[in-house]
Amino acid sequence: MTRIAVIGLGAMGARMARRLLDAGHELTVYNRTPARAEALVAAGARRADTPKDAAAGAEVVLTMLTDDDVARRVWLDPETGIATSIPEGAVALECSTVTPGWIRSLHDALSARGVALVDAPVAGSRPQAEAGQLIFMVGGPAPTVERVRPILSVMGGAIHHAGDLGAGAWLKLAVNSLFGIQVAALGELLGLLSKAGIPPDKAMAVLGEVPVTSPAAKGIGGLIVAGRHAPLFPIDLVEKDFRYALLAGRDVGAELPAVEAGRRIYARAQEAGHGDANISGVAKLYLA
């Protein structure tokens, strides 16, 4: 049993926390909206009033937050931040989709307190989180990664130690950009085929069977055909991840023309009022 704090109980964080609780770990949870912690508290978790309170006494602190700005407040706020109370010798697990630059900043802040950091963002959605089948992309020193591997294994079906600190963040932005480009292209091409007289359901019946269509794109194609756009991965977050990939690319002098084109497509979807829709909703730009 490990004393773990989970901070950020959105669609993913809450499910990851439940896996840890069911595995017998001593869990403290915090969310800005306290009601989201109620089910976990009923199952045996302790609810904290602030991130600082949640981290006090924890051996591992895991965060699953929206973006760099939220993460910076949650970790570094001088009054309520995790960094004000996380004990020396603890491990910080940043599982949010953030920039490599934020990972570097967080490392600088935590190393002064004797706290090790691992960046461990995930691939997968709610069903994978519930089943403990997330894919972790991990960056950090090998001894620290091995220390938290049993905890990650409760939540994930695969743990890929990709390299030094920040490697997880880099890979996560690449994964989300690759996925977003595929979905944008699929929506655009279904619109083309529809105008050519091939309805989306018939088009996907063929496209879903050819090897150039990835399993993920095939799944999204089914949602597009069904008109189901309830947010699993909202367009607002997709556009944010494209922006983060571009920012990170500029830091290392990488050219990312396809990523830039993808960002513009999802920005158009936001401007059209689809920001709250699932990533599949980008197809609304091309299908009536």
Question: Domains in the chain, start-ordered, CATH in brackets?
Answer: 3-165 (3.40.50.720), 170-285 (1.10.1040.10)
Q: What is the pLDDT of residue 144?
A: 97
User: DSSP letter at 245?
Assistant: H
Q: Token digits for 189? A: 């091409």
Query: With the C-alpha atoms ordered 118, 124, 130, 135, is the resulting torsion angle positive or negative?
Result: negative
Cβ-proximal residues to 24 (8 Å cutoff; 6+ apart), any chain: 1
172, 195, 240, 284: the catalytic one is 172
Q: What is the pLDDT of residue 262?
A: 98
CA-CA distance, 18 to 58, in Å (whole number)? Answer: 17
Residue 254 confidence class, pLDDT cut points 50, 70, 90: very high
CA-CA distance, 145 to 152, in Å (whole number)? Answer: 9
Return the H-helix or E-strand segment holding 4: strand 3-7
- pTM of the predicted model as reported, rounded to 2 decimal places: 0.95
Q: What is the pLDDT of residue 230?
A: 94
Cβ-proximal residues to 14 (8 Å cutoff; 6+ apart), any chain: 36, 39, 40
Average pLDDT over residues 85-109: 98
Give the tens place of pLDDT for each residue, 9-38. Answer: 999 999 999 999 999 999 999 999 999 999
Q: What is the pLDDT of residue 57?
A: 95
Give the tens place of pLDDT for each residue, 188-237. Answer: 999 999 999 999 999 999 999 999 999 999 999 999 999 999 999 999 99
Average pLDDT over residues 139-146: 97
Q: What is the pLDDT of residue 208?
A: 96
pLDDT at 1 over 90: no
pLDDT mean across residues, the chain: 97
Active site residue 284: no
CA-CA distance, 98 to 245, in Å (whole number)? Answer: 9
3-state secondary structure of 30: strand
